[in-house]
Structure 1
Amino acid sequence: MYVRTGFTKDELAFLVAMALGGTVQRAAWGVIGVSGESWEVTLSANPVTGEPDDDFVNWPWQIEYEPESVPTAAGAAVRDMGALLEALWAAGHWAVAACDYEHLLPNSGGWHAGRYLGQPGAV
């Protein structure tokens, strides 16, 4: 998932934790991710540089979702990533999923219904 927001990593991690019912994981150097009962989320600055408005691959944050259980991975991923997309959009952030199951997510993972660009005026 790619996210365009003015949030810091800490603020974004808190939003992810609230949306998915997880716990922010910290190390001495700061936030390293969010974890739940059967999943982990890694938040990282996007290494691709460019103008954020040009394309989602240039947006500043990447969120990686990893379920711990392979047999239930597909259902859990669709449920959790759908909830996270909805939470990000509701908060006014730009978010789009880029995954094998995006067609199963709300608004096709952000590709339709104006969700690709988030809410008007969002940062």
Structure 2
Amino acid sequence: MDVIDLSNIAFSLCGVTWPRGKEPYADEAFELLRQTILHTKVEVLLDTVDGDGYFIGTLLASNTHVAIPLLQAGLAKLEENFPKAYSTEFNNAQKYAREEKLKIWETYVETS
């Protein structure tokens, strides 16, 4: 069996953004993502490659989109182009974090 080393591939979740680098909660978001996929069979669904060479798509762990725990913990937020196949789960997870003012939503003020 041939093995392909994928350790240096840059991958970004389609439609979701989360803190990175030195931003607040970046380490916590990375750790939650790592724990979500560690020792778990994952499925990668590629949508495209951006101009910087990042693969963009969907990452499933145990048939669950890995963005859902990030959204629910307040460690990610939806972009306008999020995958509509996960609309209900994504919106519910983000709504919960926003209402509970978790992490990146701690200073959120709803406007009417």
TM-score by length of 1: 0.38
TM-score by length of 2: 0.40
Quick check: which has more Rg, 1 or 2?
Answer: 2
